[in-house]
Amino acid sequence: MTDSQQKNKRVRLLEKGVYTIEPKSVRSRNDHLCQVCSIISNCPIQRALSFTEGHAEAVIRTCARFVPSIPFCSPYVGLHFSIFNTLRAGTTWQERLVKGKVVALTDSKSGDIIRFGKVKSVISGGIDKMLEVHAQFNHIAMAGKGVDEVERVIRKSYGHFLKPDSKLTAIYIENVSHELIDKIDKKLGDTPENVESKVINLSWHRNL
């Protein structure tokens, strides 16, 4: 049986009167990359997909434009510096980010965008060594709280996960230049007419 024949056997007609080739287990997950992208509300791809509404469901499986979000708890401390790091448990972020990637710094509860930044570097290692070397450049320490406070926050936040052999990842974030924001905005489409349009535009998050 050819690949085309196998795929044809998987085609199903749903109750809504539409066809699909995906099994119910995949459809029920409802995991779309766009759902967690920080620029979804001002994305030209989404505007193009809107033309399929009513007769087709289009899903983005991979995307080079995707902007990850890094959550921060309120009150925000030290996020205004031109470069700083945030320490996260595990090594997931090292596998998720690359140098030069634009990221959104967001509120951990509301998901609202605080500002944008650009990844300078991502470094992982043992928890004790990482704290010894990188705590001084953490946004909390740079805001005057001290390295001891950084360690206290880390252990309080991840205490039930951390073990002697646990890893920490330091994500160094730098200011996004106005030129880079302009370049991204140009790719994303026209600037919204006003804030009330509820469309995120990076120019509103320029570093002051």
Which residues, 6+ apart, have CB-to-CB distance to 142 below 8 Å?
A: 78, 81, 84, 136
Token digits for 58? 């289009």
Token digits for 33? 């990359």
Q: Rounded to an integer, what distance in angstroms lies between the CA atom of residue 199 and that of residue 38?
A: 11
Given a cut of 90, whether residue 159 has pLDDT beyond it is no
pLDDT at 126: 94
- What's the CATH fold of domain 67-189? 2.30.130
Q: What are the tens digits of pLDDT across the range 18-45?
A: 788 888 888 777 778 888 898 888 787 8
Q: What are the tens digits of pLDDT across the range 169-196?
A: 999 999 886 666 666 656 554 444 443 3
Q: Which range has the worst mean pLDDT, 72-76, 118-122, 158-162, 200-204?
A: 200-204
Q: Mean of the per-residue pLDDT values for the chain?
A: 83
Cα–Cα separations (whole angstroms), residue 85 to 40, 117, 173, 197: 26, 11, 6, 33
Q: Rounded to an integer, what distance in angstroms lies between the CA atom of residue 138 and that of residue 147?
A: 8
Residue type at 31 in one-letter notation? D
Domain boundaries, the chain: 1-66, 67-189
Is 117 within 8 Å of 81 (Cβ atoms)?
Answer: no
Q: What are the tens digits of pLDDT across the range 114-127?
A: 999 999 999 999 99
pLDDT at 183: 66
Query: Model confidence at 197, in pLDDT bands (50, 70, 90)?
Result: very low
Q: What are the tens digits of pLDDT across the range 80-114?
A: 999 999 999 999 999 999 899 999 999 999 999 89
Q: What is the pTM of this model?
A: 0.76
| Residue 73 CB neighbours (<10 A) | 11
Is 140 within 8 Å of 150 (Cβ atoms)?
Answer: yes
Is 99 within 8 Å of 121 (Cβ atoms)?
Answer: yes
| Residue 180 CB neighbours (<10 A) | 15
